[in-house]
Chain A
Amino acid sequence: MNDLWNGIQQAIWLTLTLDADLVEISLRSLRVTLSALFVSCLIALPLAAILAVRRFKYRRLIISTLNALMGLPPVVVGLIVYILLSRSGPFGVLGLLFTTHAMVIAQVIIITPLITSIAHQSLRELWSEYHDLLISMNTSKWQRIKTLLWDGRRALMTASLAGFGRAIGEVGAIMIVGGNIDHATRVLTTAISLETSKGDFALALALGFVLITLALAVNFTTHWLGRTEREGRW
């Protein structure tokens, strides 16, 4: 009990004094996850719009594949990326294993299906609302996709935030492909896991504060986006 109390006190101290390790790890976490989010959005959002607007041959197949990928345990994603990037693997020559690039790749694989799926759901709804009008106006396929992406931007932000939340809190996959190397690939979740196992609750808790704050910020923003949409303040 005393340990815990001490830990909390020290954690607060670390946070207030902006401890160097804490800041470094937090910033790396943000950099990795935001990079992954950026790449994922580039893939997921247009894909979601295309799936909503166009009726093509492999549409259903792509949707089921995405749903299946969404259920993939992150650890397994980590394992697969590890095998692909390991020295003897097909992409071994790139030397990406145990770098933040590998972690970004793993996170992209984990969150792209999630973002696509959530985005697709809301864009499909929007499309059923707009369908007759946009068809009547002779819009091109591209104009339809652009219109949906723009008018659905709040929902798309929400989808991206869900992806961010998933990626920033993920530990299994990035532990495997990143290796949790100090000053190189250590991020919030992997550091918490390590510090806890070492019994050093102070840093673990401080890192936990950061993680919780980020999660709360995501939650709050999601909520706020939903409200502005419903109340038509934009």
Chain B
Amino acid sequence: MFPMNACNLSVKVRQKHIIGPINLTISEGGITVLMGPNGAGKTTLLKALHGIIRLANGQVTFATPAKTAQEQQSFVFQSPIMLRRSVLENLAYPLVINRQDKQSAMERAQTWATKIGLSAHMDRPAPFLSGGEKQKIALARALITSPKLLFLDEPTASLDGAATVEIEALLSEAQSTGTTIIMSTHNIGQARRMASRVLFMKDGQIDAHSAANAFFDTPPTDAAQKFIAGDIVL
């Protein structure tokens, strides 16, 4: 389905310009990390690329037809959305939606519950678990369909070190088994560990887009340099 092409993409909310125009190509493989100050438009860009908000202009295209491409994407939201169901049923939900039989869906879900260390909590209602546990469920639920493209919006924003390590391990594994990842983060350390490419956003625009090494060694723009140095970018 790659490359993904965003062409002249922009988003408006009630006449207010939020992001764009953005031109962007993402090819298969690797982890693209989206960085930038609060309100830069990271969440909006991710949702626009995923196709769940209306574009004011432009389009996102894939090498495969839109419908096929849509079916091979998952999205992990900034604050995890838990269905009011058990952990297991949350994990199985995307499979059930895609008409897999209940039995095998539940087996897959169990495998994933064990994998994220929640096998003891499988039957507990997911909305009542801790933030870190919910985030892991959200990620496992996104990965359970083996998507070709995975979007994550600050997947470790409110997690401690241990939980962050677990999430990063799951992401690395997904990436090595053929999932292309686009994620936003405020954690520069995480970006250094994970990124193969960096997209730096500022004021609804892409300020810089380069390979991760290059981005951190010789920041391509002024704002990016300040951001990496830990200065406040406005």
Contacts and interface: CB of A to CB of B under 8 A. Distances in A.
B84 A151 contact: yes
Contact of B50 (A126, A136, A151, A152): A136
Interface in A123-150: 126, 129-130, 132-133, 135-139, 143, 147
**Residues of A contacting B: mostly:** helix
Contacts of A126: 84
A147 B94 CA distance: 12
Interface centre among A135, A138, A234 (most CB of B within 10 A): A138
Interface residues of B, number: 20
A151 B94 contact: no
Nearest to B47: A132
Contact of A139 (B50, B75, B97): B97
A137 B97 contact: yes
Contacts of B125: 232-234
Interface in B53-95: 70-71, 73-75, 77, 81, 83-85, 93-94
- Give the dominant DSSP class at B's interface: mixed
Interface residues of A, number: 17
Contacts of A143: 97
A232 B128 contact: yes
B162 interface: no
Given A143-B97, A232-B128, A151 B83 contact: yes
B216 to A, nearest CB: 31
A55 to B, nearest CB: 13
A219 B146 CA distance: 47
Given A132-B52, A137-B97, A232-B128, A151 B81 contact: no
Nearest 6 CB-CB pairs, A to B?
Answer: A232-B128, A232-B125, A133-B81, A136-B75, A151-B84, A135-B52
Interface of A: 126, 129-130, 132-133, 135-139, 143, 147, 151-152, 232-234
